[in-house]
Amino acid sequence: MGIPIKIHISFLLILPLFVFVFSINPYPLGFSEITPNILNYVLSFLTAIFLFICVLLHELAHSYVAMKYGVKISDITLLLIGGVSSMEEVPREPSQEAAMAFAGPLVSIIIGFTLLLLNWILVTLIPSIEGGALYTFLFILGFINVILGIFNLIPAFPMDGGRLLRAWYANKMNYVKATEQAASVGKMFAIFMGLFGLLINPWLIIIALFVYIGASEEAKSTTTSISLENIKAKDIMSENLISVPSSFNLEELQKFMLEKKHMGYLVSENNEFIGVVTLTDVKKIHPTERIAFKVIDIMTPDVITIPSDANASEAIKLMSSKQIGRVFVVEDGSIVGVLSRTDLIRALTFLKE
């Protein structure tokens, strides 16, 4: 579907843990009875790999539906906690968000029940395979996928059920209020889960903390995005454009940054802007070597811009997707200002007062 699939370093930490758990767990959720040990570990490894393939299919289901509604998917990343689809924005139409949110759990549940049904058919036809490697492999994948699908339907952010709940609320109230209501339900659920975890299982406390933080961040992120939708980039940008010559060496650039108190600048050459240089670029060069480098050697040639009449929420999405601290504002083909994260935070502060 044209979506880059990435693997975070944390995924490489959790994979051996899953292999270990499957290798020591008894039937039907593990292969501890399987001998020799090498076969046990091979089966455990394959099960862990296929489990995360199923997680990837879960995320692809979200992404496929989102793309049908015109949402751009930057990538899907496999993490310690599972998979995450990076979307430019979540559909605001309640029915669209509900469809997108439900697609993932639906795929997981379909995969789970299909594998469990296949197991039942195989055992009916060949009773001797029950308890064997193939039966256990299919049972583990089927069972976990069903649990994964059901767990994700819990009405709490960042689970898919939280988005389904928000979509339901959004039919009755505005989007910000719907998000706050859904986040409140998620936080209450997290508190009860944490208390239950104190009595039953400490792992539930960790999950509860994850859910509580996820609900809080979703509410904050949505409020921020919607608050900035009514502000134009030109209204909060800094018009005082400061540039540095491409011939500056890095020591001169550092002194310039210290004097002007900004961390990013346009780079000029022959009265034209040819790139952007930031403090992050400078830090990539060892202090003892900076005298030998010029701005043109470390700058980024791509100047990320937005139109002056674009709303500020587009700027924050662009900064997040590009992982940058500022964008430049253009009008009639010319750069007329710069909009930084600091400008956005300042605007939000004024809006709250």
Residue positions annotated with a catalytic role: 59
Can you tell me the distance from the alpha carbon of 109 to that of 107, in angstroms, rounded to the nearest whole number? 5
Tokens 């540039």 locate to 243
Cβ contact 275:299 at 8 Å: yes
82-87: strand order across its sheet: 5-7, 73-79, 82-87
Which token pair is 295? 């701005």
Tokens 């689809």 locate to 85
Strand locations in the chain (E) = 5-7, 73-79, 82-87, 243-245, 264-269, 272-278, 305-307, 326-331, 334-340
Can you tell me the distance from the alpha carbon of 31 to that of 43, in angstroms, rounded to the nearest whole number? 7
